Amino acid sequence: MELHIVEDVSVLINAFGVGNCFLLSYVYVMGKSGDLGRNAQLLSFLFFIIGVVIFNTILNFTGYGHVLHVFEPISNAVIWAMAPLLYLYIRSNAFSGKRKVSDAVHLLPFYFILSFTIWTLAFPNTPSGNWGTWILDHKAILLLWNLHFLVYLSLSFYSLKNWKKGKRKLAKVIFWSIASIWFLNLLFHVYRIFVHELSSLFYLNITLLFTFLMVWVSYQKLTGSFERGVGKNSRIGKREIKNQDSECDSLIALIREKKYYRDSDLNIRTLSHQLNMPYHELSHLINQNYNRNFNGFINSLRISEVEEALRSGQHSSLTIMGIAQRAGFKSSSVFYTAFKKEKGITPKAYIHQHSKTS
């Protein structure tokens, strides 16, 4: 009797986890979350797959798998995308969200297995359908999938290490949760083959870990933990920044100190990587506090350095354009336009005006 209660509770919790997975999948792909654009799409697909895996486990445990007899093979095919998606998500953050054309290659095994599965299901009573079913049910496929999973876990772990001090808690928790669940599932499977058959309740309880992961992610999103700004280990400051104004002050101080703006090819992704700060947060801070786009913000810092150089008389030993290029301006036209927009006068007029007042 007590065992049945445990089983029922496990099923109910997992059912809640399925709903949570699909809801998170929808939120990340449709809503504005802390991970925008491509990262949100990767997370959305990853959470959807986790929901499919949990739901398939519930169907098998409760004996309703025959009702949706095509669901299990589809689930087994879809799970081939889990580890590559995890890797692509972690790598996109580790390397400043840069996307490579070769990214699609990582999902080729998933596309192939899914297409092969659909073909097999579409022609079940044909020689090709029977042959396909035999291949998909063969133990070699399971071994191949585990090797495939292990390779991408290793790649994900390597990419995770490249985050240095600015690692986001979300990716770390997702990675270690998926890695732990995969290892436990493999351990139980090996035990079942070589030692003794295990109750399906063991596998149901493994998926509970997925459910707890999804509940944790939902809680963090509801409390805004992923959108609040840089973490306590960020280079911007070792103590938590209490408000947006102080965060901007710290941001400006660090950019000035390191003179990141002197890089004439600087873009928002490069700077966010140098600051160990998600680029969308950097963009939000600049837009909200300075009412400028990124280029305007960086040019204002460059103009500030040029202004200090002109006021200190450095133009007597360097040309005005030499000072501007040192500050990060690539061309004279961009520099003169930015200077006049910022100060209201040309650099020569500024020198003349300053020489009168000094």
Domain ranges of the chain: 2-222, 229-291, 302-358
How many percent of the chain have pLDDT more than 70? 84
Rg, C-alpha atoms of the chain: 28
Long-range contacts, 294-297 (Cβ 8 Å, 24+): 294/267, 294/268
Among the listed ranges 5-19, 143-157, 224-238, which one has the minimum average pLDDT value? 224-238
Question: ∠ CA 248-252-258 to the nearest 5 degrees?
Answer: 145
**What superfamily does domain 2-222 belong to in CATH?**
Rhodopsin 7-helix transmembrane proteins (1.20.1070.10)
Q: Mean of the per-residue pLDDT values for the chain? A: 82
pLDDT value at residue 41: 83
**Max CA separation in the chain (angstroms):** 95
> What is the distance of C-alpha 29 from the center of its chain?
13
Q: Which residue has the higher pLDDT, 80 or 29?
A: 80
CATH number for the 302-358 domain, one of 1.10.3210, 1.10.10, 3.90.1150, 1.10.3470?
1.10.10
Q: Which residue has the higher pLDDT, 273 or 161?
A: 273
**Residues 324, 305 contacting (CB under 8 angstroms):** no
- What tens digit of pLDDT does each residue of 272-312 get? 888 878 777 788 788 877 788 889 999 999 999 999 999 88
Q: Give the whole-angstrom CA distance, residue 154 versus residue 267.
A: 30
Between the two ends of the chain, the Cα-to-Cα distance in Å is 92
